[in-house]
Amino acid sequence: MTLLTVAVLIAAGSFLAGMLGALTGLGGGIIVVPMLTLLFHVDLRYAIGASLVSVIATSSGAAAAYVREGYTNVRIGIFLEVATTIGALAGAALSSVIPTSALAVLFAIVLLYTAVRSFQQRDEHPSNDPPHPWAVKLRLNGSYPVKGEMVPYTVQGVGSGFAIMGLAGMLSALLGIGSGVVKVLAMDRRMRLPFKVSTTTSNFMIGVTAAASAGVYLHRGYIVPTIAFPVMLGVLAGALTGARVLARTSTGKLRTLFTGVVTILALEMLYKGVTGAL
């Protein structure tokens, strides 16, 4: 196949991944890496490099819209980025000693977890309890607009939230994904942030986390322009299209489709990882 044919095929697959990721809110990175390795037979490390670039593109592209709504909590973002960035650099260091077959198995586990989570409702339990003492010291508590009024919220579980974010950063670097599912776990469940605050703040952090390991991988030669450009353009176009049509589609069937795709990819990654075919 010529370069043009390969690029068009990769861009088309990435477009679908980006659209599905935006529509389900779970991100496209988790589909891009298995697509590149299983369908296009690209080495896992090149796939991770290309995927990280696309994660940065969608996160930064979507952030501009979120920012206008005024939900992002910059202090929570920066505080947790300390954890995700350190986690990402540690993950990038680890990735040079972990065999790719082990990474494929880890990827399969994260895919399966994502599939399970995508069927569970996210429960919102915003908290009126007194905030965690660190939340006061770090001035993390904030307020967000609900029907034109600013509603205050308090932050819980600062320590465990910070630790889980470190893990999210490490997974992001090891697997080339945004780790949105893990970030949501930390921010919704442990820190008890309102949905709109956790979603927008998490999106903001995803780009910074991915940039940390992408920088390291650039030097290691993981980022190949001929693979990364169709992935970046495809995912970005898909995500923008997905955000446009989101208002007009029911997400129920899409969620089923997404879960189906993710489960199949997980089983394939698991098989290839265990048999050492990757």
Residue 87 vs 157, nearer CB to other proteins? 87
Q: How far is the CB of 57 from other proteins (least distance, A)?
A: 6
| Distance (Å) of CA 125 to CA 19, 122, 193, 194, 264 | 29, 10, 8, 7, 32
Site mask, other proteins, residues 83-122, x = CB under 8 A?
--xx-xx--x------------------------------
User: Distance between alpha carbon 39 and the CA centroid of its chain, in Å?
Assistant: 21
List 12, 78, 98, 277, residue binding other proteins (CB under 8 A): 78
Is position 167 an interface residue for other proteins (rule: CB under 8 A)?
no
Scanning the structure block, which residue is given the tokens 């932050």?
A: 155
Is position 211 an interface residue for other proteins (rule: CB under 8 A)?
yes
Residue 187 vs 232, nearer CB to other proteins? 232
Reference 58, options 199, 239, 215, 210; nearest CA is 239
List 99, 225, 260, 276, residue binding other proteins (CB under 8 A): 225
Tell me whether residue 90 is exposed, middle or buried, using C-beta atoms within 10 angstroms of its C-beta: 0 to 12, 13 to 18, 19 or more: middle
User: Phi and psi for 57 in degrees, rounded to 5?
Assistant: -60, -45
Q: What is the dihedral of CA 148, 161, 50, 256, to 10 degrees?
A: -70
Contacting residues toward other proteins, per CB under 8 A: 1-7, 41-46, 53, 56-57, 59-61, 63-68, 70, 72, 74-75, 78-79, 81-82, 85-86, 88-89, 92, 138-139, 204, 207-208, 210-229, 232-233, 236
